[in-house]
Amino acid sequence: MSTAREQPIFSTRAHVFQIDPATKRNWIPAGKHALTVSYFYDATRNVYRIISIGGAKAIINSTVTPNMTFTKTSQKFGQWADSRANTVYGLGFASEQHLTQFAEKFQEVKEAARLAREKSQDGGELTSPALGLAAHQVPPSPLVSANGPGDEKLFRSQSADVPGPAERERLKKMLSEGSVGEVQWEAEFFALQDSNNKLAGALREANAAAAQWRQQLEAQRAEAERLRQRVAELEAQAAAEQPSASEKEGSQALEHLEALVQTKDQEIQTLKNQTGGPREAVDATEREETQQKVQDLETRNAELEHQLRATERSLEEARAERERARAEVGRAAQLLDVRLFELSELREGLARLAEGTP
């Protein structure tokens, strides 16, 4: 087919359907995706066609005649009957605006076909009605038929004879039967589309969640390993912190200091008793020496008490440090249990996700 002979004058995209020839009620989709549907004008024959090609074959090859009617059955769906193809075509559009544009163009082409027929019947000079058609025209481009370049078998011309009364009645009946379940079918169709979009979105979210869970799983594993090492270190430290040699030495030193303090207290008491009675026979030198010794003993006693308190504080600090270490071991063990539980839940979630992903 040469580009000078047949040219596209309007194009849009829609889901293409044909009536089931067996039931005359159900629609058969031409494919899973929307196809390009175009109006073509044959300037040589003054013929208009609606053509849609899917893959290597023509899904729609319908010659527009004045007796055809395009019917809007819903906000996004329209249909027309083609007696020559012995079928009913249905188009599902993405929006009501696209449906309206296609319907208006159908009416323009139908009117142009009527004028062309009248002039042909009157024997007048044929002019190109396509020149008056509005917008959405595209530059002429070569079209390749399903049978190969240069083969016009796909777009062969058809006459525009008016079908007889019986044929019209049959087409009306077929059109009405095809429209019976249209609303329900369209609702189901768009419900399936919405469901498919939701499932696709859910799958993307699940994949993103799975990737995030995998990262969390790796982080949890690293954290669990670190906690295991920390718990092992703390357990070893707690085991080593049984009464150590330093604590034993501290206890012995404390006992020695307590005994020494008691001894000094006894000596002080003895000296006080000696100085408290009648001391007329003791000379002044001995009394001074005794007093000096008492002062020295009291000073030494104070020093020993200070050392005793310091030793007690050190012992208490050592005991508190050991208690803190034990508490830290307990907290680390609890945290490890929580992490292990979260890790188990994360593994179960990944398993359920893997089972539910097709």
**Is 275:287 a contact under the CB 8 Å cutoff?**
yes
Q: What are phi and psi of 154, to 5 degrees?
A: -70, -35
Q: What's 258's DSSP letter? A: H
| Predicted local confidence at residue 172, as pLDDT | 59
> Which of these, 179, 50, 65, lies nearest to 116 by C-alpha position?
65
- Fold topology of 8-119: PH-domain like (2.30.29)
| Predicted local confidence at residue 101, as pLDDT | 95
| Predicted local confidence at residue 118, as pLDDT | 84
What is the CA 15 to chain-centroid distance, rounded? Answer: 28
Q: What are phi and psi of 150, to 5 degrees?
A: 80, -5
Q: Nearest 5 degrees, angle CA 108-CA 113-CA 116?
A: 125
| Predicted local confidence at residue 262, as pLDDT | 83
Q: What is the mean pLDDT of each run of 10 residues along the chain (358 residues)?
A: 67 94 88 90 88 87 92 93 91 94 94 86 52 39 34 34 59 55 56 74 85 85 85 80 61 78 80 59 71 85 85 87 86 84 84 75
**Is 49:25 a contact under the CB 8 Å cutoff?**
no
**Extents of the domains making up the chain:** 8-119
| Predicted local confidence at residue 312, as pLDDT | 86
| Predicted local confidence at residue 24, as pLDDT | 84
Give 210-266 pLDDT, tens digit per residue. Answer: 888 888 888 888 888 888 888 888 888 777 765 555 566 667 777 887 888 788 788
